[in-house]
Amino acid sequence: MTSNAETMTRDNELGGGAAITAVAAMIAVLFAGSTALTPLYVIYKQAFGFSQITLTLVYAVYVVGNLGALLMFGRLSDIIGRRPAALASMTIAVVSALLFLFAENVAWLDVARILSGLGIGIGAGTGTAWLAELIAGDDKSRAATIATGTNFVGLGLGALVSGLLAEYAPWPLRLTFAAYLAVLAVVTVLIWRTRETFARPGRLADVSMQPRLSVPGAIRARYVAPAVTGFGAMALVGFYAALAPSILAQQLHATSHAEAGSLFFELSIVAAATILATTRFSSRATMLAALVLMIPTVALVVAAQFFASMPIMIAATACCGVAAALGYRGGLQVVNQIAPADRRAEVVSAFFICCFCGNALPVIGIGLLSSWTSATTASLAFAGMITIFSLVALGFGAKYAR
């Protein structure tokens, strides 16, 4: 092995493009684990005999792990190094997948979902920082583009492959996670061989478990628009990930698990393509465009249920993918711009909390409403909430965003 080899270092570690690919694959495979359940929720509901509200809680409890990672382990890779933190996140993902593989009741699913959220919370932040250090030159926006793009690709592939296996292969609740464990094993080996970029790793004992999150008073008015945008964008994603399969089965009479997985795959691929196609758009324009697009998106979702129309649902899904991508990227960029340099990590973490809450809280509300009334009425309430939030954020964004 020569000293100027492009993909390997002297220590036989992955470097260059191979290292970037390995870290991107880690981000994708971690997020794939979060949506592998999307086509399986209906099967779990029948197998374990739980209600619609229990289903939504199984989905939403994932955020507990996300928040735990953000509040307690947000700086983990800044202390112990990128590779050890990444390997820790992969180990947690393996334990989560094993719990899903052998799940016998709802409690198993809850614990597995929490661990999945914890692993993703650690791995996503670590992977994004690692990519920024692996990419040569000053174009660090490329790292954010790769991280967010592979995020959505992983979400889509997890749902698609799970749906196909559930529909056309035996043992749908076992085979999906057996295959996922095999992929995790391969990616873990790649990460173990990937070049460490952190110069002086410390000890695990140096990691502080004390959370500290706040938004400086000087930027709070300007912070409202991106925070609400992130909340709304992830609420749309959560709606599709948790509830779309049930809507397809009950209102649109589409019972194929492959169709449920394909619908979320459409959303994710549209989102990833949108991120790549809009890299030159300004952060403010991107954020405001997302807020405007959220209103017709939720209107299409309600219309698809009311008219029991699959073509309208497909159109709504595409709009959702665009709105979610623009909202997530635009909101994050605005927050990065307005945050004081000495408190940027803290302010960005607060933004991610808004995103995680958006991903879970509306889904729980819709689940409760749908147990008391019709699914269409619950979706109408969701559409009203998103519309109000979008209008409020548009007002703050037009006045304060720069």
- 154-211, pLDDT tens digit by residue? 999 999 999 999 999 999 899 999 999 999 999 999 999 998 887 666 666 566 666 6
Q: Burial, 205: exposed, middle or buried (Cβ in 10 Å; 0-12, 13-18, 19+)?
A: exposed
Q: Which amino acid is at 355?
A: C
Does 32 map to a domain? yes
- Do 32 and 176 lie in one domain? The reply is yes
Does 259 map to a domain? yes
SS3 content of the chain, % helix, strand, coil (to 5): 80, 0, 20
pLDDT at residue number 203: 65
Does 151 map to a domain? yes
Domain extent at residue 268: 215-401
Q: Which amino acid is at 242?
A: A
For 193-309, where are the alpha helices, taking DSSP H only? 220-250, 257-277, 283-306
Does 104 map to a domain? yes
- Do 45 and 191 lie in one domain? The reply is yes
- Do 165 and 39 lie in one domain? The reply is yes
Does 3 map to a domain? no
- Do 188 and 221 lie in one domain? The reply is no
**Count of residues making up the chain:** 402
Count other Cβ atoms within 10 Å, centred on residue 78: 17
Averages of pLDDT over runs of 10 residues in the chain (402 residues) are 44 78 95 91 87 83 86 75 91 97 94 94 84 70 78 92 93 94 97 84 62 76 88 87 76 81 91 89 88 93 89 93 90 81 68 85 83 83 90 81 52
The token duo for 254 is: 């589409």
Does 2 map to a domain? no
The continuous run of DSSP H or E covering 86 comes out as helix 82-101
Looking at 197, 227, 245, the residue that finishes a domain is: 197
pLDDT at residue number 4: 44
Q: Which residues of 291-321 are buried (b: 16+ CB within 10 A; e: fewer)?
A: bebbbebbbbbbbbbeeebeebbebbbbbbb
Count other Cβ atoms within 10 Å, centred on residue 170: 7
Does 397 map to a domain? yes
The CATH number covering residue 100 comes to 1.20.1250.20
- Do 161 and 305 lie in one domain? The reply is no
- Alpha-carbon distance of 91 to 56, in angstroms, equals 26
pLDDT at residue number 182: 97
pLDDT at residue number 299: 92
Q: Which of 176, 49, 175 is nearest to 104 (CA)?
A: 49
Looking at 142, 164, 197, the residue that finishes a domain is: 197
Number of domains in the chain: 2
- Do 158 and 251 lie in one domain? The reply is no
- Do 357 and 229 lie in one domain? The reply is yes
- Do 177 and 222 lie in one domain? The reply is no
- Do 315 and 228 lie in one domain? The reply is yes
- Do 232 and 346 lie in one domain? The reply is yes
- Do 271 and 319 lie in one domain? The reply is yes
- Do 383 and 248 lie in one domain? The reply is yes
The token duo for 40 is: 């399986």
pTM of this structure: 0.82
Looking at 197, 230, 251, the residue that finishes a domain is: 197
The token duo for 111 is: 């614990």
